Amino acid sequence: MYDLNKINECLNTDTIGRAIIQYDFLLSTATKAKSIFNTCPEGLIVLSENQSKCIMRMGNEWHCLPDKNIYLSIILKSLVNNLLISKMDMISCAALHKTILELYNIDCKIKWPNDILINGKKTSSIISNFIGKNSDGVTISFGINANMDNEDFNIDEGIKNTSTSLKIESGDNIDRELFIGSLLNNFEIYYNNLIKNNLKEPIEICTNNSSIINKEIEVMKKGKKTKRKVFVEGIDGEGRLIVANEKGNEEILDPGETILIYEI
């Protein structure tokens, strides 16, 4: 289990992470965060050593390995009107990217809207969900491959050649408490700036470190089967993708409605 005192020693936040609950096993931290949302404080963190049903964006399952990786959810309540999930994805990716760079000096890329890649392989995924009928708040959930070894990825052919871990890429064991503390510190900075409508740094991080900008990719609309090619031009201030379609016309793609197929 995590040393919560050590995490607390790493924090310089006012709200995020000042309350933490941890479990040895959950269906998912996202499910638990949703179930306790109404009775917990702003910024509470749900941690679990293992999860049996970690469903990420578009229904994809994140393969979990107990005692080696990081599974956490953040509960947020102090939200502004018209807050978009795409903005939450953007500040979460930016905070995670900054943490990896600061701690390990690893060059990683952000695959819009919610994945972190190292050497082209996935090491983390993020999912943001509104809570309540009136969107009373948001939960941000992170799945981070921290201390998995190469042989750990042999458990599933689907991730064997497509995923990696911070330990593999850095060449050293990851101090999970230090990583969590640093991530929460960076997240609170960007979250407070988001409330003030200042997204300059997250936009720059997500744009300058994008894995798909200036590339042609295939996309399809959620729930549809038709694929089409687009050229990725950038990311807008709402965290949405700016693309040019096959006719050369500019379009804005929302992450909640768009599935990336592959890079061409």
Q: What is the pLDDT of residues 53-108, one digit of tens each?
A: 555 544 555 567 778 999 999 999 876 555 678 999 999 999 999 999 999 999 99
Topology (CATH) of 216-263 = SH3 type barrels. (2.30.30)
Q: What is the pLDDT of residues 216-226, one digit of tens each?
A: 999 998 888 89
**Domain map (residue ranges) of the chain:** 4-208, 216-263
- Decide: 180 and 49 in contact? Cβ < 8 Å: no
- Per-residue pLDDT at 229 exceeds 70: yes
Q: Which CATH superfamily is domain 4-208 in?
A: Bira Bifunctional Protein; Domain 2 (3.30.930.10)
Query: Could you tell me which residues come within 8 angstroms of residue 253 by beta carbon, excluding any fewer than 6 positions away?
Result: 219, 230, 240, 241, 242, 243
Rounded distance between C-alpha atoms, residue 47 and residue 258, angstroms:
29
Please name the residue that has the structure tokens 């201030």. Answer: 237
Answer whether 4-208 and 216-263 agree in fold: no
Q: Is beta strand 20-23 parallel, antiparallel or unpaired with respect to 45-48?
A: parallel
Predicted local distance difference test score (pLDDT) of residue 243: 97
155 against 244, higher pLDDT:
244
Model pTM score:
0.93
Average pLDDT over residues 182-199: 95
Average pLDDT over residues 147-165: 85
**pLDDT above 90 coverage of the chain, percent:** 74
For all residues of the chain together, what is the average pLDDT? Answer: 90
- Decide: 260 and 250 in contact? Cβ < 8 Å: no
Rounded distance between C-alpha atoms, residue 252 and residue 242, angstroms:
5
110-136 as b/e: b if 16+ CB within 10 A = bbbbbbbbbeebbbbbbbbebbeeeee
Q: What is the CA radius of gyration of the chain?
A: 18
Q: Which of 120, 117, 119 is nearest to 145 (CA)?
A: 117
The partner residues of 45 in beta bridges, in order of sequence, read 20, 74
CA distance to 36, 63, 140, 145, per residue, from 123 (Å): 28, 11, 17, 5
Average pLDDT over residues 143-172: 89
Most trustworthy range by pLDDT among 50-54, 60-64, 196-200: 196-200
